[in-house]
C-alpha cells in the first residue's frame, strides 16, 4: 500500500504549485481589470499638455481635472460598501469596468470642457467601486495559503500603469489624437468588462453592510486623523506629483511633450520594486521610523524639484518616486497597529478616501493655481517643505 506523502514532501509542494497555477487565470483577469481601472485614472496626466492646448485651459483648469476625478473616487469608495451589500461583488466588478469604459468614451467625445469635467467625475465614480470587490473576489477564488502571492500579482497593476501610461500615450499620439486614444482605451475596457461577464470568476455573494457604530468609534481616535493627514501627504508625493509633473516640465522648463512623458515613464522603473524596500524597512525599523525617513528625504527632493533645473532636476525626477512609494507599506502597517482586531478594513475605509481627495485632487489643483500665478516651482517647494514637516507627525505613533 503506498505511503501517504509527508508534509513538506515533493508531492505536497507539487500539489501546492498546482493549486496556485489553477488559480492564476482568475487572478490575471482581475489584475488586467485593475490595470485598466488605474490606467484610466492616471492617463490624463501625460495627455494633459495636449488637452490643455485644445481647450485653452490655464493651469488651474488642468488641475481641476484631478480634483473632480478624486471627488468621484472619494464618493465611490465611501459608497462601495453599501453597493456591494446589495449587488454581488462579481456584478460590481462588471459595472465598474463597463462604467469606466463608458466614461472614457464620454470624455473623448466631449466638445466643451464642462462635459470633460462631468466625465471625469463619472470616471472616478465608476473606477472607485472596483477595489473592495476585486480584493473580495481574489480571496474568495484563491486558497488562503496563496493570498499573499495573489495580492502581490494584483498589485503589479497600478505600478505597471504608472510606468506604461506615458509610453502608451506617446505610442498612440504618434498615429492618433488624444480623443481617439481615449476611445481606444474606453473600447478595450468595455471589451474586458464583457470578457469578465462571460468568463470571469468573481465572488458571487454580497458584502456586509458597513457598521456605522464601529466607524464612529474608530473616527474618535486622534491617531486615525493623524494617519489621514500622513496618507494625504504620502499620496500627494506620489500621485499628486505624477499628475502635474508633465505639465510642469513642458510649461515651465520648455520640455517637448514626448521627452517629458518618456522621462516620467523611465522615472517609475525604479519605483516598481521600491514598495518591497519600504516593507522591509517597516519590518526592520518599525513603520513610524520608516515614515519619518521617507517624509524627510522625499520632501527635500520635492523642494529641489521646484527650485532647480537641468541635470539636478532630472536626477530628482528619478529619485523622488523611489522614496515616496516606500511610505505605503509602513503606512498600512501603522493603520493596522492603531486598529483593534477586526477593524482594519473600517480604518482603511475612513482614511483612504479623504486622503485620496486631498493628496490626489486638492494638491494638483493647488499646483495649477500657483502655476497660473507664476509660482509653479515655488508651489512644489512649499509642498516639499510641508512633507518634511510631516515627519514630526510620526513622533508618538506606535513603534510596531
Per-residue pLDDT band at 391 (split at 50, 70, 90): very high
Ramachandran assignment for 254, one of left (phi > 0), alpha (psi -120 to 50 degrees), beta (any other): left
Q: Where are the domains of the chain?
A: 20-210, 211-400
| % of the chain at pLDDT higher than 90 | 28
211-400 and 20-210 share a CATH fold: yes
CA-to-CA distance for 35 and 156, rounded, in angstroms?
8
pLDDT at 180 over 80: yes
pLDDT at 165 over 70: yes
Of 72-86, 163-177, 218-232, which range is least confident? 72-86
Mean pLDDT of 95-119: 93
Per-residue pLDDT band at 305 (split at 50, 70, 90): very high
Question: pLDDT tens across 185-197, in order?
Answer: 999 999 999 999 8
Q: What is the DSSP string of 158-217?
A: HHHHHHHHHHHHHHHHTTS-HHHHHHHHHHHHHHHHHHHHHH-----SPPPPP-HHHHHH
Residue 365: which residues within 8 A CB-CB, separation 6 or more?
A: 60, 63, 64, 66, 67
CA-to-CA distance for 161 and 148, rounded, in angstroms?
21
- Answer CATH for 211-400 from 2.20.25.10, 1.20.1250.20, 3.40.50.300, 3.20.20.370: 1.20.1250.20
**Residue 332, pLDDT score:** 77
**Residue 186, pLDDT score:** 94
Domain at 20-210: CATH code: 1.20.1250.20
The pTM for the full model equals 0.78
pLDDT at 151 over 50: yes
pLDDT at 267 over 90: no
Per-residue pLDDT band at 148 (split at 50, 70, 90): low
**Residue 7, pLDDT score:** 45
pLDDT at 1 over 50: no
| % of the chain at pLDDT higher than 70 | 88
CA-to-CA distance for 107 and 98, rounded, in angstroms?
14
**Residue 4, pLDDT score:** 45
Per-residue pLDDT band at 173 (split at 50, 70, 90): confident
Residue 284: which residues within 8 A CB-CB, separation 6 or more?
A: none
**Are 83 and 290 contacting, i.e. CB atoms less than 8 angstroms apart?**
no
**Residue 341, pLDDT score:** 56
**Residue 3, pLDDT score:** 44
The rounded Cα 295 to chain-centroid distance in angstroms is 18
Per-residue pLDDT band at 52 (split at 50, 70, 90): confident
Q: What is the DSSP letter of 239?
A: I
Mean pLDDT of 137-147: 73
**Residue 183, pLDDT score:** 94
**Residue 6, pLDDT score:** 44
Of 205-214, 298-307, 374-383, which range is least confident? 205-214
Per-residue pLDDT band at 281 (split at 50, 70, 90): confident
pLDDT at 299 over 80: yes
Q: Which residue has the higher pLDDT, 98 or 274?
A: 98
Residue 265: which residues within 8 A CB-CB, separation 6 or more?
A: 163, 164, 165, 166, 167
Cell of 12: 505536497
Amino acid at each position: 500500500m503506498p505511503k501517504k506523502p509527508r508534509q513538506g514532501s515533493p508531492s505536497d509542494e507539487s500539489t501546492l504549485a498546482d493549486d496556485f497555477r489553477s488559480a492564476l487565470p482568475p487572478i490575471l483577469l482581475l489584475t488586467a481589470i485593475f490595470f485598466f481601472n488605474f490606467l484610466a485614472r492616471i492617463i490624463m496626466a501625460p495627455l494633459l499638455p495636449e488637452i490643455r492646448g485644445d481647450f485653452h485651459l490655464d493651469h488651474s483648469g488642468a488641475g481641476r481635472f484631478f480634483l473632480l476625478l478624486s471627488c468621484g473616487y472619494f464618493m465611490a469608495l465611501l459608497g462601495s460598501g453599501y453597493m456591494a451589500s446589495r449587488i454581488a461583488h462579481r456584478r460590481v466588478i462588471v459595472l465598474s469596468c463597463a462604467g469606466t469604459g463608458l466614461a472614457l468614451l464620454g470624455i473623448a467625445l466631449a466638445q466643451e470642457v464642462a462635459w470633460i469635467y462631468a466625465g471625469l467625475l463619472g470616471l472616478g465614480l465608476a473606477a472607485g467601486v472596483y477595489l473592495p470587490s476585486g480584493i473580495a473576489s481574489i480571496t474568495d477564488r484563491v486558497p488562503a495559503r496563496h493570498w499573499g502571492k495573489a495580492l502581490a500579482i494584483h498589485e503589479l497593476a497600478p505600478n505597471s500603469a504608472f510606468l506604461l501610461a506615458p509610453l502608451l500615450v506617446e505610442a498612440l499620439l504618434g498615429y492618433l489624437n488624444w480623443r481617439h486614444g481615449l476611445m481606444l482605451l474606453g473600447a478595450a475596457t468595455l471589451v474586458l468588462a464583457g470578457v469578465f461577464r462571460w468568463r470571469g470568476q468573481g465572488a458571487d455573494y454580497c458584502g456586509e453592510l458597513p457598521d456605522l457604530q464601529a466607524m464612529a468609534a474608530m473616527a474618535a481616535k486622534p491617531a486615525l486623523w493623524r494617519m489621514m493627514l500622513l496618507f494625504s501627504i504620502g499620496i500627494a508625493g506620489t500621485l499628486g506629483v505624477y499628475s502635474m509633473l508633465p505639465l510642469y516640465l513642458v510649461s515651465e522648463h520648455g520640455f517637448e511633450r514626448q521627452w517629458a512623458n518618456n522621462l516620467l515613464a523611465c522615472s517609475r522603473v525604479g519605483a516598481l520594486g521600491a514598495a518591497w524596500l519600504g516593507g522591509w524597512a517597516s519590518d526592520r525599523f518599525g513603520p513610524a521610523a520608516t515614515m519619518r525617513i521617507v517624509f524627510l528625504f522625499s520632501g527635500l527632493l520635492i523642494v529641489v524639484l521646484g527650485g532647480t533645473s537641468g541635470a539636478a532636476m532630472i536626477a530628482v525626477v528619478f529619485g523622488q518616486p523611489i522614496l515616496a512609494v516606500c511610505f505605503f507599506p509602513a503606512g498600512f502597517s501603522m493603520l493596522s497597529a492603531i486598529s483593534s482586531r477586526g477593524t482594519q478594513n473600517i480604518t482603511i475605509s475612513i482614511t483612504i478616501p479623504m486622503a485620496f481627495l486631498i493628496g490626489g485632487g486638492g494638491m494638483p489643483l493647488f499646483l495649477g493655481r500657483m502655476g497660473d500665478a507664476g509660482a509653479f516651482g515655488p508651489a512644489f517647494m512649499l509642498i516639499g517643505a510641508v512633507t518634511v514637516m510631516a515627519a514630526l507627525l510620526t513622533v508618538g505613533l506606535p513603534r510596531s
